[in-house]
Amino acid sequence: MAKSEKNELMDKLYSLCKRRGFIFQSSEIYGGITSCWDYGPLGVELKRHVKDLWWQENVTGREEVVGMDASILMHPKVWEASGHVENFHDPLIDCKKCKARFREDKALHYFKCEKCDFQFRVNGGFIEVKDEFRTYFKDDLYAQEPTFYQKSDCPKCGTAGSIFLEKIACPTCGSTELSPARQFNLMFKTHFGPSEDTASEVYLRPETAQGIFVNFDNVVNTTRLKLPFGIGQIGKAFRNEITTGNFIFRSREFEQMELEYFVKPEESQKWHEYWVEQRFQWYQKLGIKRENLRLRAHAKEELAHYARACTDVEYKFAFGWSELEGIADRQTFDLDQHIKASGKKMSYFETETNTHIVPAVVESSAGVDRSILTVLSDAYWEDTEHDRTVLKLNPKLAPIKVAILPLVNKDGMPEIASAIFSDVKKQMAAFYDQTGSIGRRYRRQDEAGTPFGVTVDSQTLEDGTVTLRDRDTLEQVRIPKDNIVKVLRDKLAL
Ligand SMILES: [Zn+2]
Ligand SMILES: [Zn+2]
């Protein structure tokens, strides 16, 4: 796909989300605030379903996992111990010519082969090649990390490790007169209490995980869990990202679903592999197409010094393969850091060996908003044959399960339909609509991802049956109106 087509798909998704009430720009009436998003009536339902399915799969559905909900504001020492104060930075570059400020990886990166004349440029994540070289980059014209291309094999002459970074330039004006990269901390600061001096500075948490680590002892002492065991949490986190964008993919306020799984240190590799597989399956259970998902193991150079391994689950978005979730074997780093900084013991008593040990942790850290963008992207379908746009959402995720529609607005049909609606609504999320032609009403529901439509027509008046329409196949069958809830429950597997 060309860059414009990719953006076009994101634009279409964006406008569908706004039109149907899934997602709105935050503070829109004041011109909006960059990279903050509000979930509307349908979006909030979709979000709840995603979180509920995660919680069911990873917390309540498992014997050895418990949940918790920590506060967003924490003691500032937490972030010193975790390494965020010192290390949670992005490298920023200033253009001396046009004064633009940008993240290092967003600079124009010019690459060249040492052996032949092959060259290409990476611009905002997209590889740009001259026409005569286009054949060498057939499929994937997207690059996430420009630096990955350094020392890679030349696609033209085949020389191993011959690609080098020739220069970087300003993405706004193209100038190569740039400042060296400087580190910028991504944590949001605020003040605790009435005084605004440095002593009162606290951070909005940049991740939920630390709330779990600092409560390790509290949870172990109150639950008496045996290793391996997990603690799960869903909550908001905040990062003052320099580069935001791609709709809800990267925003400054977002929600995480994190599971910290504590294991015996010698077993961490086994459990890391186990959770990579579990988490990869979970996205497929949401209904995401297998071919749009992949796993990417981090190279040694990418790993934090304490991590033994990290694997990302990636999704093929319109803007390229991007990370949905990371599953990391963090060893004993997090607990060790808090033990050192707090002076508290925080260990696990192993009865078999009669010793106190610090368990290793395998962390899976998923984004709620990224999961939602994935679900929406994967479900988006332009059915050209029937001239409609459909969100083929997994029925479990669909905000509305069934729409109840009178065929026409007369002959007692609205009365029957609204009676059905009040009945069904007690059992599942339903929607009643009598405005506009039946075709238009169906299309609105297709865009909302509603899997079923029930229509009251003239035959209903004669024999008490209604038509049941399937969103994806458009198949229509007649069923007795008294059976609607039962039939839908079966079809939805509720
Ligand atoms: Zn510039
Ligand atoms: Zn070459």
Q: Please name which ligand lies nearest the alpha carbon of 114.
A: 2
Whole-number pLDDT of residue 199: 79
Q: What is the pLDDT of residues 113-126, one digit of tens each?
A: 999 989 998 887 77
CA of 8 to the centre of ligand 1 (A): 27
Domain co-membership, 325 together with 226: yes
Q: Please name which ligand lies nearest the alpha carbon of 102.
A: 1
CA of 155 to the centre of ligand 2 (A): 7
Q: Around Cβ 222, how many Cβ atoms within 10 Å?
A: 10
Domain co-membership, 427 together with 296: no
**Quick one: pLDDT band at residue 5, thresholds 50, 70, 90?**
low
What is the residue range of 76's domain? 3-88+187-378
Q: Please name which ligand lies nearest the alpha carbon of 171.
A: 1
CA of 130 to the centre of ligand 1 (A): 23
Domain co-membership, 279 together with 211: yes
CA of 146 to the centre of ligand 2 (A): 18
Domain co-membership, 94 together with 84: no
Domain co-membership, 63 together with 84: yes
Domain co-membership, 305 together with 161: no
CATH of the domain at 47: 3.30.930.10
Return the HEC string of the chain.
Answer: CCHHHHHHHHHHHHHHHHHHCCEEECCHHHCCCCCCEEECHHHHHHHHHHHHHHHHHHHHCCCCEEECCCCCECCHHHHHHCCHHHHCEEEEEEECCCCCEEEHHHCEEEEEECCCCCEEEEECCEEEECHHHHHHHCCCCECCCHHHHCCCCCCCCCCCCCEEEEEEECCCCCCCCECCCEEEECCCEEECCCCCCHHHEEEECCCCHHHHHCCHHHHHHHHCCCCCEEEEEEEEEECCCCCCECCCCECCEEEEEEEEEEECHHHHHHHHHHHHHHHHHHHHHCCCCHHHEEEEECCHHHCCCCCCEEEEEEEEECCEEEEEEEEEEEECHHHHHHHHHHCCCCCEEECCCCEEECCEEEEEEEEHHHHHHHHHHHHEEEEHHHCEEEECCCCCCCCCCEEEEECCCCCCHHHHHHHHHHHHHCCCCEEECCCCCHHHHHHHHHHHCCCEEEEECHHHHHHCEEEEEECCCCCEEEEEHHHHHHHHHHHHCC
- Per the domain annotation, does 210 fall within a domain? yes
- Per the domain annotation, does 70 fall within a domain? yes
Alpha-carbon distance 480 to 488, whole Å?
12
Residue 6 has pLDDT above 80, yes or no: no
Residue 262 has pLDDT above 90, yes or no: yes
**Quick one: pLDDT band at residue 143, thresholds 50, 70, 90?**
low
Domain co-membership, 177 together with 111: yes
Domain co-membership, 176 together with 193: no
CA of 299 to the centre of ligand 2 (A): 24
Higher-confidence residue: 197 or 249?
249
Domain co-membership, 249 together with 230: yes
Q: Please name which ligand lies nearest the alpha carbon of 118.
A: 2
The pTM of the full predicted model, rounded to 2 decimals, is 0.86
Residue 160 has pLDDT above 70, yes or no: yes
Q: What is the pLDDT of residues 180-213, one digit of tens each?
A: 998 888 999 999 888 888 778 999 999 999 999 9
Whole-number pLDDT of residue 104: 87
Looking at 378, 408, 435, the residue that finishes a domain is: 378
Domain co-membership, 234 together with 306: yes
Tell me the mean pLDDT in the region 322-343: 95
Whole-number pLDDT of residue 126: 76
Residue 1 has pLDDT above 70, yes or no: no
- Per the domain annotation, does 394 fall within a domain? no
- Per the domain annotation, does 383 fall within a domain? no
CA of 163 to the centre of ligand 2 (A): 7
Whole-number pLDDT of residue 87: 86
Residue 34 has pLDDT above 90, yes or no: no
Residue 306 has pLDDT above 90, yes or no: no
Q: Please name which ligand lies nearest the alpha carbon of 133.
A: 2
Q: What is the pLDDT of residues 386-418, one digit of tens each?
A: 999 999 999 999 999 999 999 999 999 999 999
- Per the domain annotation, does 384 fall within a domain? no
CA of 171 to the centre of ligand 1 (A): 7
Domain co-membership, 180 together with 295: no
CATH of the domain at 408: 3.40.50.800
Domain co-membership, 273 together with 359: yes
Mean pLDDT value across the chain: 92
- Per the domain annotation, does 311 fall within a domain? yes
Percent pLDDT > 70 in the chain is: 97
Structural domain tally of the chain? 3
- Per the domain annotation, does 391 fall within a domain? no
With 0-12 / 13-18 / 19 or more C-beta atoms within 10 angstroms meaning exposed / middle / buried, residue 335 is: buried
CA of 169 to the centre of ligand 1 (A): 8
